[in-house]
Structure 1
Amino acid sequence: MTDWYWQTWQGQGFLTCDLLRPWPHGFFTRRFWPQAPEALTAALASNAGVKRVKQVHGNRVLAAADLPNSDQPRAEADGLLSDRAHQALWVCSADCSPVLIGDRATGRVSAVHAGWRGTAQAIVPLAVDKLQAQGSRLEDLVVAIGPAIAGEVYQVSADVAAAVGRSLGIDGAGDDESVIAALLQRGDSALLRDDTPGKVRLDVRRVNAMQLEQLGLDRDQVAIAPHCTFQEPEWFFSYRRTGEKQVQWSGIVSQDAAAF
């Protein structure tokens, strides 16, 4: 089982994952609000350039080199790839899954915001595909899925659950109920039953892990943080809990290949 650790900066805690130990990285908590990545990067690396996008709940993944200049509006996307060392890639979340990916051979990284919409559109596998296009090999990748809403408390409608289920190649008879029934029958299901008609409980974190496993990553290459944004209000903002548009940031800094 992968270990997760609390680190301290400015007297407050942020999470790191043992899988990503070679890279400066952090899953920051609500206690750093309202600091932005331009300030938070100092907790990870003093010489890193900050890269982020305007998140839109889609599946667009951009290379850092494709981002507009700082004096222009931010590009709309939900994923980022490094293209050289010392780039700090950031995504924000408030129930959605922040996903940080590192390549142990090249030192390159990716940061992805994966809500249910992005997950239904396979944004994390798309980020992996783009890393492979840069020369990454699946066996060299490690992935940490940060604090997000847990499946046992994330009630969604049947059409949402079916849309996410189809991202795993599950079609059933084509209708939503058949997709949900097929998902519930899986031994590693990311769905839980709900007493409300037309509703189920969905673990988006687990779906992202399952997508990665379908690509060919081993389970020991993927870690899910043991923290729920909805159930831990002392540490995390949760849009589902409060309806307020407040976020916590997650970031990772690319490294030189020679560092590995």
Structure 2
Amino acid sequence: MHTWYWRNWEGLPYLTCSILEDWHHGFFTQQFWPRSPQVLTEVLQPEASVYRLKQVHGNTILTPQEIDSIFCTDGEDLASADGLMSEQPLQAVWVASADCTPVLIGDVKTGRVAALHAGWRGTAKKIVPLAIARLQSQGSKLDDLRIAIGPAIAGEVYQVSINVAAEVGSSIIPHDEEQKIITALHELPNSPLLEDPNPGKVRLDVRRVNILQLENMGISAEQIAIAPYCTFQTPEHFFSYRREKEKKVQWSGIVSSNKLNFK
């Protein structure tokens, strides 16, 4: 089993996971709000360069070089995407979330890392498998990946419509018919769907769908760690948009190894 640890910086708590022990990383709490990724990188590894995005609930994954080229051409402050993948040593990549699932990935052989924002829309669009495919295209092997899925809203409290559940479910059950997707999801062992008393609604475990996507790629359970915290049910540590309806976030970040191996 992988262990999650509470760390402390100037009296403020953040989470790390043993599965990512080779990298400086953290899933930061609401106590750090409104500090920026620049400040949070100082907590993890001050010499790292810092990268973040304008998140748009899609499945685009960018590298720092691509961000720099977009920034130069369109004049925007931030590139629009929901995933970041390192190319060089000492690159800190960050995503923000407030119920959506933050995913941090490291490759034990190359030292490369990725940070992903996987809400229900990004999960439906397979952002995590797409990021892994991109890492593979850069030389990563599936067996070398370590994946930490951070605090997010838990299935038992995440009510969605049947059509949202079917859209997300179609990422693991390829079918055109909504009801067939829902039925097949309910039949899965440890199903990502739970019953809801309201007609036309279900409870959806988005993190579980991401795990099923990873398993479908051939990634083993030992390579994945899931934070034992729900943002909605842990108000003392995490913002929840669904609970508070406030546009606040917590940041999750990871720094690529300073000994990147480009074999």
What's the TM-score once normalised by structure 1's chain length? 0.96
Q: Aligned pair 1:92/2:103, yes or no?
A: no
Distance 1:10 1:248 in 2: 17
Determine the structure 1 residue equivalent to 2:169: 165
Report the 3-state secondary structure (helix = DSSP H, G, I; strand = E; otherwise coil) of the residue aligned with 1:177.
helix
| Equivalent of 2:216 in 214, 232, 243 | 214
Letter aligned with residue 240 of structure 1: R
Distance 1:159 1:9 in 2: 42
Determine the structure 1 residue equivalent to 2:151: 147
Matches within 5 A, 1:95-134: 95-134=99-138
Letter aligned with residue 218 of structure 1: S
Contact 1:154–1:202 (8 Å) recurs in 2: yes
Determine the structure 1 residue equivalent to 2:180: 178
Letter aligned with residue 224 of structure 1: I
Report the 3-state secondary structure (helix = DSSP H, G, I; strand = E; otherwise coil) of the residue aligned with 2:210.
helix
Contact 1:106–1:136 (8 Å) recurs in 2: yes
Letter aligned with residue 233 of structure 1: P
Post-superposition Cα deviations, 1:27-74, rounded to whole Å, max 9, x if no partner, equal 000000000101010110010000111000000001111113597421
Distance 1:215 1:108 in 2: 19
Contact 1:93–1:113 (8 Å) recurs in 2: yes
Show structure 1 runs of 5+ residues with no match.
Answer: none
Post-superposition Cα deviations, 1:113-136, rounded to whole Å, max 9, x if no partner, equal 000000000000000011001000
Distance 2:34 2:93 in 1: 18
- The Cα of 1:189 is off from its aligned counterpart by 1.1
Contact 1:170–1:182 (8 Å) recurs in 2: no
Q: Aligned pair 1:73/2:77, yes or no?
A: yes
Report the 3-state secondary structure (helix = DSSP H, G, I; strand = E; otherwise coil) of the residue aligned with 2:47.
coil
Distance 2:157 2:32 in 1: 25
- State the 4+ residue runs in structure 1 displaced beyond 4 angstroms: 69-72
Show structure 2 runs of 5+ residues with no match.
Answer: none
Identity, % of aligned positions = 58
Distance 1:110 1:233 in 2: 27
Distance 1:151 1:254 in 2: 31
What's the TM-score once normalised by structure 2's chain length? 0.95
Letter aligned with residue 130 of structure 2: L
Q: Aligned pair 1:48/2:45, yes or no?
A: no
Report the 3-state secondary structure (helix = DSSP H, G, I; strand = E; otherwise coil) of the residue aligned with 1:169.
coil
Contact 2:173–2:181 (8 Å) recurs in 1: no
Determine the structure 2 residue equivalent to 1:188: 190
- The Cα of 1:195 is off from its aligned counterpart by 1.1
Distance 1:72 1:167 in 2: 32
Determine the structure 2 residue equivalent to 1:225: 227
Distance 1:64 1:107 in 2: 16
Contact 2:2–2:19 (8 Å) recurs in 1: yes
- The Cα of 1:170 is off from its aligned counterpart by 3.7
Letter aligned with residue 202 of structure 1: L
Distance 1:200 1:13 in 2: 33
Q: Aligned pair 1:257/2:245, yes or no?
A: no
- The Cα of 1:257 is off from its aligned counterpart by 3.4
Report the 3-state secondary structure (helix = DSSP H, G, I; strand = E; otherwise coil) of the residue aligned with 2:55.
coil
Contact 2:185–2:191 (8 Å) recurs in 1: yes
Post-superposition Cα deviations, 1:118-167, rounded to whole Å, max 9, x if no partner, equal 00000000000110010000000000000000000000000000001000
